[in-house]
Amino acid sequence: MNQGPEQWTAVDEYLSEHLIGSDPALDATLEASRTAGLPAIQVTPCQGKFLHLLARIQGARKILELGTLGAYSTIWLARALPADGRLITLEVSLENAEVASRNITRANLSSFVDLRVGPALEIMPKLLVERQNPFDLIFIDADKVSTPEYFRWALKLSRPGTIIVVDNVVRKGALADASSSDASVQAMRQFIRELGAEKHVNATVLQTVGNKGYDGFALALVTSVP
Ligand SMILES: C[S@@+](CC[C@H](N)C(=O)[O-])C[C@H]1O[C@@H](n2cnc3c(N)ncnc32)[C@H](O)[C@@H]1O
């Protein structure tokens, strides 16, 4: 088999079949999202499970997610919570949020999930005022152009030991292209510069391939707070 997207997809499907299998709530979430016309830009099943395991390894009780879409990653993360755990997820689109809300209810996770509709940069300061922080894990997966600002706000909502995960950092490899005219690529380059210079985190990026193409996750451990 040739190396490339077809092989990545075949391997992803093979891994999903053996490590995840059929999951009625998650399968119904994808189906309902597709039927509602949402773009298929959610994390892959293996990435969803990776986030779930990360939250469990962390012992996360409070999770913040930026970018709900149809709640596919939300469900993976919320399932990692203990009985008294809570996940706040932020979504700018009311249409997406309505689909997500139905998917969360079907997955029996409504009591764990607080879905807030509006621009993340308007809601994050409110979380500070409400004293919802510190979060144990923060997953940043909303519009890519705002990633540097999301990361700065995530730090304000963190404690030493918080894990911050940022999706879609590598952007088909364009991350390494300084001359890219793509605003999302330049935003990720700015984010990586700030991540590397930030004294309060220890961070890395893992490149990923799979049925969503070539991309990558940034993973940051907050080591101290300003
Ligand atoms: C990549 S999708 C999220 C996928 C989801 N995390 C998953 O894996 O299932 C990005 C989402 O962020 C939302 N979004 C875009 N701009 C936003 C903003 N300013 N504030 C909050 N959400 C935003 C989009 O409407 C979209 O639903």
Q: pLDDT tens digit string along 55-110?
A: 999 999 999 999 999 999 999 999 999 999 999 999 999 999 999 999 999 999 99
Average pLDDT over residues 124-128: 98
Q: How confident is the model at residue 211 (pLDDT cuts 50, 70, 90)?
A: confident
Ligand 1 atom having least distance to the Cα of 168 = 1
Backbone phi and psi for residue 74, each to the nearest 5 degrees, phi listed first: -55, -45
Average pLDDT over residues 128-149: 98
- pLDDT at position 146, please? 98
Alpha carbon of 209 to those of 7, 64, 163, 223: distances in Å?
A: 10, 25, 22, 29
Q: How confident is the model at residue 1 (pLDDT cuts 50, 70, 90)?
A: low
**Ligand 1 centre distance from Cα of residue 67 (Å):** 3
- pLDDT at position 2, please? 67
Pocket lined around ligand 1, Cβ cut-off 6 Å? 41-43, 66-69, 72-73, 90-93, 96, 119-120, 141-143
Between β-strands 62-66 and 113-117, what pairing exists: parallel, antiparallel or unpaired? Answer: unpaired
Alpha-carbon distance 18 to 158, whole Å?
35
Choice between 1 and 195, residue whose per-residue pLDDT is larger: 195
User: What is the average pLDDT score of the chain?
Assistant: 97
Looking at the DSSP bridge assignments, the partners of residue 206 are 217
Alpha-carbon distance 185 to 190, whole Å?
9
Alpha-carbon distance 147 to 87, whole Å?
20
The Cβ-side half-sphere exposure at 123, using a 13 Å CA radius, reads 18
Ligand 1 atom having least distance to the Cα of 119 = 20
Alpha-carbon distance 197 to 57, whole Å?
27
Percent of the chain with pLDDT over 70: 99
- pLDDT at position 210, please? 87
**Ligand 1 centre distance from Cα of residue 141 (Å):** 6
Q: In sequence order, what are the residues at sequence separation of 6 or more whose Cβ sits closer than 8 angstroms to the Cβ of residue 177?
A: 185
120-129 and 147-156 helices, crossing angle to 10° = 10
**Ligand 1 centre distance from Cα of residue 179 (Å):** 26
**pLDDT tens-place string over residues 161-203:** 999 999 999 999 999 999 999 999 999 999 999 999 999 999 9
In one-letter notation, the amino acid at residue 61 is R
Alpha-carbon distance 51 to 28, whole Å?
20
Alpha-carbon distance 71 to 55, whole Å?
16
**Ligand 1 centre distance from Cα of residue 146 (Å):** 11
**Ligand 1 centre distance from Cα of residue 163 (Å):** 19
Weakest-pLDDT range from 2-16, 23-37, 60-74: 2-16
Average pLDDT over residues 147-172: 98
Nearest CA to ligand 1 atom 7: 42
pTM exceeds 0.95 for this model: yes
